Amino acid sequence: MRAADYRSVADAIAADIAAGRLRPGARLPPQRDFAYARGIAVSTASRVYAELARRGLVTGEVGRGTYVRSDPGQAGLLRPEPPAAALDLQRTHSRLPEQEAVLSETLAALARSGAEIGFSQYGPAGTPRAQAVAAGFLAREGYAPDPADILFTGNGRQALAAALAALAAPGERIGCEPLTYPGVKGIAARLGITLIPLAMDAEGVCPEALLQAHRATPLSGVYLQPTLHNPLGATMGPARRAALAEVLDRTGLIAIEDAVYSFLAEAPPLANLVPHRVIFVDSLSKRVMPALTVGLIAAPPALTDRLAASVRQGAWTVLGLSLAAGMHWMAGGSAAALAEAKRHDAAARQALARAALADLRVVGDPQAYHLWLELPETWRAEAYAAAALRQGIALLPASAFAVHPGHAPNAVRLALASPSRADLDGALRSLRRLAFAGDDQVVE
């Protein structure tokens, strides 16, 4: 077979997937069996499977096989939004009854103020007053960012994109947890940045792993979720944070600290220990609401100008209306009040989930809005996600979070925030029944 012909074989498999002849979650034969059935070399079969993975059509699980993805699409990019008809256990956006009243009150207050916010265009620094309000809002015991180093973006994802672009050029490397926020995977792919998975344990990234990766081939920075890691829910203790801070100081590396879930746990930030080595990123989308939000960056003083340039170049500056609303929430107490309400809501949903999923292994923090479900051996994550979707429940398999999808564990993440508690309870009980049914017992 000619060298280029592996693509035509991949095209044929892709056509079977598109036509539904190979359904989401279907397991492809082992490469040796595939090669024998197609009359091709095993090395060619390996290239076919690699090409299908590159196109985002399949995902490999070491020791378990290769499966058609539950949402075939472009590798490395964000997964599609859940279907409108499906119960959403993919996104961690909570909607409490109080939020509608907060939005109405905010818009009325802004209208009364007479500010021409609809005509305002701000740079990355917003205004001095906005910087002062945000700095005070982000401050906590032992951590007080300088207002002059506060920058604003349209949302948290844009803040992360600006930080990544400021630290690494295309082709350079950023360390991160081996399971990480899918948005960062997509951003890194768009920016041409290579993510390097670092070994982690129950508290997060191991300092020795960061040091070894940087010594092997220098990193341009590291992306971390020290509090309520997404998807595992891990939170670093004080000793782990201190050890990582020491590595950052020793190596001169800069860390991007993703703190978007920290309002649920209120752990001291890593930036508290080494503010000159940490780009602290937060947003109001999870605390308040995603539709009208602001991304917040507390920059190390030496990097403020570089980060501001990154925000401008990416066209990630905040809109005037969003900045005005964000200031209103941060200064007036609405953001703090909603965060408190969501802490109670998240804890209640965690308790509900753990009861509904009795006898299954779940991992996570009882304060988080997400839970990690480890599947029985009768299932594979992609097949389970596809079967759940056919039952009207949208969730994410481990491959969505894995930096190297071939090393994704046999698990799915359950976002608990969006449905009503009654709908959530019903969906989780359906997922429990599905888990115990096993792949070969599911009747379509």
Residue 353: the pLDDT is 98
pLDDT interval class at 117 (50, 70, 90): low
Nearest to 73 by CA among 396, 427, 407: 396
Question: pLDDT: is 34 or 424 the higher one?
Answer: 424
In this prediction, residue 50 has a pLDDT band, given cuts at 50, 70 and 90, of confident
- Averaged pLDDT for residues 220-231: 98
Sign, CA torsion 199/244/203/400? negative
Higher-confidence residue: 322 or 55? 322
Q: Which residue has the higher pLDDT, 71 or 339?
A: 339
Nearest to 241 by CA among 280, 282, 278, 269: 269
pLDDT > 70: percent of the chain: 92
Residues 91-106 as b or e (16 or more Cβ within 10 Å = b): bbebeeeebeebbeeb
Distances (CA, A) of 232 to 63, 142, 256, 275, 363: 22, 27, 18, 26, 7
pLDDT confidence of 79, banded at 50, 70, 90?
A: low
Is the confidence at residue 439, as pLDDT, over 80?
A: no
| pLDDT above 80 (res 290) | yes
Task: Name residue 197's amino acid.
Answer: P
Phi, psi of 323 (to 5 degrees): -65, -40
State the average pLDDT over residues 72-88.
64
**pLDDT classification of 348: cutoffs 50, 70, 90:** very high
- Asked whether the predicted pLDDT for residue 387 surpasses 50, the reply is yes
Q: Does residue 443 carry a pLDDT above 50?
A: no
Query: In this structure, what token pair is assigned to residue 150?
Result: 């506060």
Instruction: Write down the pLDDT at residue 86.
Output: 85
Average pLDDT over residues 218-239: 97
pLDDT at 74 over 60: no
Q: What is the DSSP string of 98-122?
A: HHHHHHHHHHHHHHHHT--GGG-B-
pLDDT above 70 for 81: no
Residue 73 scores a pLDDT above 60? no
Cα 427 to Cα 421: distance, rounded to the nearest angstrom: 10
In degrees rounded to 5, what are phi and psi of residue 376? -65, 160
pLDDT > 90? residue 442:
no
Does the pLDDT value for residue 15 go beyond 70?
Answer: yes
Residue 142: the pLDDT is: 85
CA 61 from centroid of its chain's CA atoms: 20
Q: For residue 14, what pLDDT is reported? A: 84
How many residues does this entry show for the chain?
444
Residues 258, 281 contacting (CB under 8 angstroms): yes
pLDDT above 90 (res 147): yes
**Mean pLDDT calculated for residue range 111-140:** 85
The residue written with tokens 């590159």 in the block is 54
Q: Lowest mean pLDDT of 56-70, 94-108, 386-400, name the range.
A: 56-70
What local confidence, expressed as pLDDT, does residue 119 receive?
61
The pLDDT of residue 71: 66
pLDDT at res. 92: 93
Q: Minimal CA–CA distance to 22: which of 76, 70, 68, 59?
A: 68
What's the pLDDT score for residue 53? 81
> In angstroms, what CA-CA distances link 64 with 7, 29, 56, 286?
24, 11, 18, 35
* Banded model confidence at residue 262, pLDDT cuts 50, 70, 90: very high
Number of other CB atoms surrounding residue 411 within 10 Å: 23
Would you say residue 77 has pLDDT above 80? no
Mean pLDDT within 24-45? 88
The average confidence (pLDDT) of the chain is 91
Burial class (CB in 10 A: 0-12, 13-18, 19+), 114: exposed
pTM of the model: 0.85
Q: Is the pLDDT of residue 61 over 70?
A: no
The closest of 78, 81, 87 to 416, measured between CA atoms, is 87
Residue 424 tokens read as: 């959530």
Q: How far is CA 335 from CA 250, 304, 325, 347, in A?
A: 37, 25, 10, 18
Average the pLDDT over 152-161 and give the result.
Answer: 98
What per-residue confidence (pLDDT) applies to 351? 98
Q: If DSSP codes are grouped into helix, strand and coil, which group holds residue 231?
A: coil
Residue 364's pLDDT is 96
Across the range 182-198, mean pLDDT stands at: 96
Would the pLDDT of 16 be above 90? no
Q: Measuring CA to CA, which residue among 143, 140, 112, 135 is closest to residue 331?
A: 135
